[in-house]
Amino acid sequence: MLPYSLTKKTVGQNPTGYIAYVNQDEKNDLNKIIDHMVEEGTGLTRPQALAYFEKLMQTVEYFIETKGGVSTPLFQIRTTIAGVFLNERDEFDPQRHSIRLRLTPGTRLNQLKKRLKLVKKRKRKQEPGPELFIDLVSETTNEQATPQGVATIRGSNLIFDPHDPRQGIFFIPENGSANFRVKLYVTIRSTEINFSIPPLPPGKYTVVIHAVMRRHKSIRTGLMEKLITVC
């Protein structure tokens, strides 16, 4: 189901109405595509998936550069030239003309559009939304954490102040002993955090993010749904 929500319309002929927005709280970029391609059971490794995707992009670029376009079940791309030519002897002039790429959905995307199912969502209280815990040492997702190794958390609303001891990434042991706070971060972005895992005793942990959200003063909490194991 594809979630959407309504927001009050502020311009146009009927400013008292509402318009719909499809909820896209996270950026579904190349990393997300590759992660999906190499999910368990596909038989693809990450280097293979990256290589195939790069070859596909290079091939599409080749046909656009040499043939003016490409047509696939997913999309169609056609090269056009904008601007007026003075006569039959006139040639392309970047000052007067421009090259444009026209992209339209192919048959697969048009069929997909008919299959989309919508579900209306109420606006959620703003809070961190961690979804994926990627341990780079063990190359696992939402499964393991390697003490003093490097990990990545992906999701939404992940930004926090690492200098505030109340905020950050915390590992909460299942056995109820003291929590472990991450101290070393490489990057902190809204959709991705890269960090060094603290020294952790073996066991199972809930990974929690505490953050003071924009335009708020109190701590908001988001936690991973699956327990993370330290062997």
pLDDT in tens, 5-49: 776 665 555 556 777 878 766 678 898 899 999 998 889 999 999
Domain 2-120, architecture per CATH: Irregular (4.10)
pLDDT of residue 25: 61
pLDDT of residue 214: 76
Cα angle: 160, vertex 223, 179; to 5 degrees = 80
Residues of the chain with CATH 2.70.50.70: 129-230
Residues of the chain with CATH 4.10.520.10: 2-120
pTM score of the predicted model: 0.51
pLDDT of residue 3: 84
The share of the chain scoring above pLDDT 90, in percent, equals 73
Beta strand residue intervals within the chain, DSSP E: 2-8, 18-22, 69-71, 75-82, 98-105, 118-120, 129-135, 140-141, 150-156, 168-173, 180-181, 185-188, 192-196, 203-212, 219-223, 228-230
The share of the chain scoring above pLDDT 70, in percent, equals 93
* Residue 199: HSE in the Cβ half-sphere, 13 Å Cα cutoff: 0
**Residue bearing the bigger pLDDT, 122 or 208:** 208
Report d(CA 131, CA 138) in Å as an integer.
18
50 pLDDT exceeds 80? yes
Domain 129-230, architecture per CATH: Distorted Sandwich (2.70)
201 pLDDT exceeds 80? yes
Report d(CA 50, CA 37) in Å as an integer.
9
**Residue bearing the bigger pLDDT, 215 or 86:** 86
Neighbours of 7 (CB within 10 A): 10
Report d(CA 194, CA 56) in Å as an integer.
29
Cα angle: 169, vertex 171, 172; to 5 degrees = 130
Q: What are phi and psi of 109, to 5 degrees?
A: -70, -35
